[in-house]
Structure 1
Amino acid sequence: MKKDHTAYLLARLPIALSMFGHGLVRIPKLSKFSEGMVNNFSSKNALPVWLVQPFSLVLPFAELIVGLLLFIGLFTRLSIIGGSVVILALIFGSAMLEEWNSIFSQMFYGAYFAVLFYFIHLN
């Protein structure tokens, strides 16, 4: 394996494990996680329940799948795009809640995905 390819692998794995871990810890407590997200958005009248609830139920699985696929290097391009879509949705939600500190870390994830996408040829 060339040095460039190894560097790409080493860049891909941390975000893969982060996304995988986010999903993994939320799935066993899915109903509690979903309820918390719905209550958070409802209490601030940020987004309607009919939008937040399905998203909160799908989010942990999306994170888990994106993370797993990135980790094993399967469908990497699609996984990066999927991860970017997840992050865009999270940024939108955080903006609706006015959680500006959360947006900073989410923007880091977005930039990280963009860099991985740019260098996909090294996968």
Structure 2
Amino acid sequence: MNAIVFLLLRLGIGISMFGHGLVRLPKLNAFSQWMVGSFAKSMLPAELVRPFSMVLPFAELVIGFLLLIGLFTEPALISGAILVLLLLFGTSMVENWEAIPSQLIHLIFFAVLLQFIASNSWSLDKILNRP
């Protein structure tokens, strides 16, 4: 993959993840309450949903930031893919089928970038001589 194409894809998914986390942090409690409420009729207990809802915005923000600056890119991509898989599971549990295509697109971005990680030339990883 061309290094500039990789950069554009990395920045795109990085902005999406960073933005998801950034807008949720100022209203963290309200976001958590909304998420717990949306899972009230699902099989997942509130004791599981509540901590996940509190950690999710921080995870999105950190993963997005690392992807934007190109630092620890491979671990950030793997973490992002795992996070999206967890979101897909949760989305399925509440039967929110409309949200699944967007989450699958995010997963595809993570998978493609992982496949072509050798093209991560425009990054802090490259400057710092990290693999």
Instruction: With the length of structure 1 as denominator, give the TM-score of the two structures.
Output: 0.95
- Structure 2 equivalent of residue 50 of structure 1: 47
Structure 2 gaps, min length 5:
121-131
1:65 lines up with 2:62 in the alignment:
yes
- Structure 1 equivalent of residue 11 of structure 2: 13
Cα RMSD after superposing both structures: 1.0
Following superposition, the deviation at residue 45 of structure 1 comes to 3.0
Amino acid at match of 1:76: T
In 1, Cα distance between equivalents of 2:106 and 2:35: 20
In 2, Cα distance between equivalents of 1:8 and 1:104: 22
Greater than 3 Å deviation, 4+ residue runs: none
Amino acid at match of 2:18: F
Instruction: With the length of structure 2 as denominator, give the TM-score of the two structures.
Output: 0.89
- Structure 2 equivalent of residue 35 of structure 1: 33
Following superposition, the deviation at residue 62 of structure 1 comes to 0.3
1:91 lines up with 2:83 in the alignment:
no
Question: Which deviates more from structure 2 when the two are superposed, residues 4-13 or residues 56-65?
Answer: 4-13
Equivalent position SS for 2:43: coil
- Structure 2 equivalent of residue 101 of structure 1: 98
Which one has a larger percent helix, Structure 1 or Structure 2? Answer: 1
Q: Aligned pairs, how many?
A: 120
Identity of aligned residues (%): 53
Amino acid at match of 2:21: G
In 1, Cα distance between equivalents of 2:12 and 2:79: 16
